[in-house]
Amino acid sequence: MGLTARQKLKLVSVRKQKQAEQDSALDMRLISLVDSQKVKGDKGPKGDKGDPGARGLPGRDGKDGKNGRDGVDGLRGKDGLNGEDGKDGQDGKTGPMPRHEIKGKRYRFENPDGSWGEWGLAGGSTIQTVGGGGQALSVSQSDRLVIMVADASDATYIYTGELLTGVTFVDTAEITNNSKTLGYDVDDLLKTITHVFDYLSQTWTVTTTLSYTSGKLTGKSTTIGKV
């Protein structure tokens, strides 16, 4: 009994499939054989450096933030209490009288540096103080002491020709602007001595006037003024 057409067709299909499998196996063996025979070639030259890319566009600036609001002012503090007035200090004691020497009608005082001042004339004088209203006042011992201390400071003498015409004293902590001016008559006889200085924020003026008889000193009067 022969094969039917359908059976023949199936047989042909089986043969083709088997042939295809054999061909595929053969191809694989050939590929394996070729790969085993391959030789690695030399390294090719380095390629040229590529051109730099285009510069990117700058980014946009961010927006500024808003300013914060000002804070509220604080309340004003209360005023402090008034301080109490300080107590008045005690009056200082009168300092000791400077050392002095007297010879007849002449006198001199010791300077602060231990040296002696020039001789002055004593006796035959009257002393009075004149206040702001011109009224004569009594002279206290403290006033006399202040004048003597001012007169006993270190001094620089000023001469006009051979005549002593002025004296400037070295200021101290309490006595400042201390100076003397000497005036003469036409016969070059000393006529007036004007002593001006500041003491305790007050200006003192001690004016001494000399009187002569036949060229001889016969009297001296001194007026103390406080401005």
* Beta bridge pairs of residue 175: 199
Q: DSSP letter at 11?
A: H
User: Quick one: average pLDDT of 116-122?
Assistant: 63
pLDDT digits (tens, 9 = 90+) for 123-153: 334 444 444 443 444 566 777 788 888 887 7
Q: How many CB atoms lie within 10 A of CB 120?
A: 15
Q: Which residues of 30-49 are buried (b: 16+ CB within 10 A; e: fewer)?
A: eeeeeeeeeeeeeeeeeeee
* Beta bridge pairs of residue 182: 193
- 20 versus 136: the higher-pLDDT residue is 20
pLDDT at 81 over 80: yes
pTM reported for the whole predicted model: 0.42
Distances (CA, A) of 118 to 4, 24, 66, 100, 128: 176, 150, 86, 11, 24
The chain-wide mean pLDDT, for the chain, equals: 76
pLDDT at 29 over 60: yes
Say what the pLDDT of residue 34 is: 64
Q: DSSP letter at 32?
A: H
Share of the chain above pLDDT 90, in %: 10
Say what the pLDDT of residue 132 is: 40
